[in-house]
Amino acid sequence: MRRIPLLSLAAACLAGAALCAALPAARALAQAAPAASMRETMNIGEEPGRISTPEIVIEDGPYRRQLVYFRSSEPAGTIVIHTSERFLYLTLGDNRALRYGIGVGREGFQWSGLLKVTRKAEWPDWTPPPEMISRQPYLPRFMAGGPGNPMGSRALYLGATIYRIHGTNQPETIGHAVSSGCFRLANGDVIDLFSRANVGAKVVIRHAATL
C-alpha cells in the first residue's frame, strides 16, 4: 500500500479546512449580491388614495436637491436625466446645474431619448394606460388630481409619449427603479422643478453620464 507522507497529509487537511471555511463566506457573498441589486428595484405597485402633502422634499443624502458642477454643452434650461444614477439635472449654464433625486423605470421599462416638455400641469389627473391596468388590475381607470393621486403635485409631459416627469405619493421610492417608465420626484422637489422648467424645454434621457 502506498504511504502518504505526513507533511502532505497535513497540508491536505489544512487545505480542506480552508475550503470548508471559505464555502460559507462564498455562499454569503452570492446571497448578498442579489440582495444588493434588489435594493435598487422596489417591487411595489401604485397606491392611489395614499396622501402625500406638497411640502415633502428629500432633505438628506445624495438625492436631496442641490446645486452641483455639471459639465455640459446643453443650453441653460435643459433637463438631463441619468437613469442609472437616479438623478435629474436642470442646467443653469456655466457648467452648473440643479440636481434632483428621482425614481426611474424598473427593469424592462427604462429608456433613453431626446424630447421636449410639451405641457405642464398642476395636480394632474391620471388615466393609467391599458398596459398598466393589465399589470395592476386594481387601479382606477381615471383619477382626478389631488394629494392622493400617484401623479403627485405637478407633471411635465414629454413629447407625444405617455411618459412624464411628475410628483409622487410614494416619496420613499426616490432613488429606486420602480415606475413604468415615468420619472418621479418628491412633491416639493417637482414643484421647484415645475417653477423653473419651461414648456418647450429640451429633455435628454440617458442611461448614464457620457464623458
pLDDT digits (tens, 9 = 90+) for 171-180: 999 999 999 8
Q: What is the pLDDT of residue 19?
A: 34
**CA–CA separation, 185 and 210 (whole Å):** 23
**CA–CA separation, 173 and 159 (whole Å):** 25
Q: Is 116 buried (19+), middle (13-18) or exposed (0-12) by CB count in 10 A?
A: middle
The number of beta carbons lying within 10 Å of the beta carbon of residue 91 is: 22
Q: What is the pLDDT of residue 129?
A: 85
When the pLDDT of each residue in the chain is averaged and rounded to a whole number, the result is 81
Which residue's C-alpha cell is 446643453? 74
Half-sphere exposure of 149 (CA within 13 A, CB side): 23
Q: What is the pLDDT of residue 78?
A: 98
Whether the pLDDT of residue 45 is over 90: the answer is: no
* Helix, strand, coil distribution of the chain in percent, nearest 5: 25, 25, 50
Q: Within the chain, where are the H helices?
A: 6-40, 130-135, 187-196
Q: What is the DSSP string of 128-175?
A: --HHHHHH-TTS-S-B-SSTTSTT-SEEEEETTSS-EEE--S-GGGTT
Between 107 and 113, name the one with better pLDDT. 113
Between 52 and 11, name the one with better pLDDT. 52
Q: Does domain 66-206 have CATH number 2.40.440.10?
A: yes
Phi, psi at 53, each rounded to 5°: -75, 160
Q: What's the pLDDT band for 211 if we cut at 50, 70, 90?
A: low
Q: pLDDT tens digit string along 53-97? A: 677 889 999 999 999 999 999 999 999 999 999 999 999 999 999
State the average pLDDT over residues 179-188: 94
Whether the pLDDT of residue 14 is over 80: the answer is: no
Give 10's contacts (C-beta < 8 A, 6+ positions apart).
Answer: none
- Kindly report which listed range (44-53, 79-88, 196-205) carries the lowest average pLDDT score: 44-53
**CA–CA separation, 166 and 45 (whole Å):** 16
Q: What's the pLDDT band for 47 if we cut at 50, 70, 90?
A: low
Q: Is 177 buried (19+), middle (13-18) or exposed (0-12) by CB count in 10 A?
A: buried
Q: What is the pLDDT of residue 7?
A: 39
